[in-house]
Amino acid sequence: MKFLIDNQLPPALARIIGRELGSEAVHVADVGLQEATDAQLWEYASAAGLILISKDEDFVDMVLNNPTASLVWVRVGNCRRDFLLDVFRRAWPRILERLNNRDRFVEIR
């Protein structure tokens, strides 16, 4: 599984996923998509077979109405980066389990 991290989330999340959690991840800034629209990000994730990780509620509609990619929707409010990274460390086994079971939409609170 490969992941694309959206703009509202820190680039450090891609590094944690790659180095600590054992999956491949890139931040939108790493691939020149920091200015892309939601539709462009969805199209990119779909074409590249990436799972999008985002806080943006607009992607919920996309995954429900156009399930060409998968979404990990982050529902953690504004918080410090370290807290967010700890949330992912704790939730990662459950995230992977759901995605391995072919769930296209995983919500993290």
CA 36 to mean position of chain CA atoms: 15
pLDDT of residue 39: 96
- CA 81, CA 109: separation in Å to the nearest integer? 15
CB 45 within 8 A of CB 51: yes
pLDDT of residue 45: 98
pLDDT of residue 57: 95
Q: Any idea which residue has 């999008």 for tokens?
A: 52
pLDDT of residue 30: 96
pTM of the predicted protein model: 0.97
Give the relative orientation of helices 81-100 and 11-19 as an angle to the nearest 10 degrees. Answer: 50
| Structure token digits, residue 55 | 């806080």
- Summarised one tens digit per residue, pLDDT across range 90-103 is 999 999 999 999 99
pLDDT under 70 in the chain at which residues? none
pLDDT of residue 32: 97
